[in-house]
């Protein structure tokens, strides 16, 4: 086994890993988790209204 065989093996392994990741990402089982993650930047804070008003007042001082 020479260096070119090793390089070929690593290339095939990397390609197989890439295909595996693509299949995992596009599988239907992951859709709900990815949709939730995609909406995270739009989620509002879960602080109670009193804590939000106190936080706003402390920033204005």
Report DSSP state, residue 49: H
Question: According to the model, what pLDDT value does residue 55 have?
Answer: 59
Whole-structure pTM value:
0.55
CA 26 to CA 39: how far, in whole Å? 18
Question: According to the model, what pLDDT value does residue 30 have?
Answer: 85
Question: According to the model, what pLDDT value does residue 28 have?
Answer: 85
Choose between 55 and 18: higher pLDDT: 18
As given in the structure block, the two tokens for residue 9 are: 């093996």
* Kind plus residue range of the DSSP H or E element containing 17: helix 3-25
As given in the structure block, the two tokens for residue 8 are: 């070929």
Report phi then psi at 39, rounded to 5. -95, 0
What pLDDT, in 10s, does the model give residues 20-61? 999 998 888 888 888 999 999 888 876 666 655 665 666 655
Question: According to the model, what pLDDT value does residue 43 have?
Answer: 86
As given in the structure block, the two tokens for residue 31 are: 């859709």
């Amino acid at each position: 086994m020479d260096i070119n065989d090793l390089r070929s093996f690593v290339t095939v392994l990397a390609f197989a890993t890439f295909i595996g990741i693509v299949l995992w990402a596009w599988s239907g089982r992951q859709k709900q988790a990815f949709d939730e993650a995609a909406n995270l930047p739009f989620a509002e804070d879960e602080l109670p209204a009193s804590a939000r008003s106190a936080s706003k007042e402390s920033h204005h001082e």
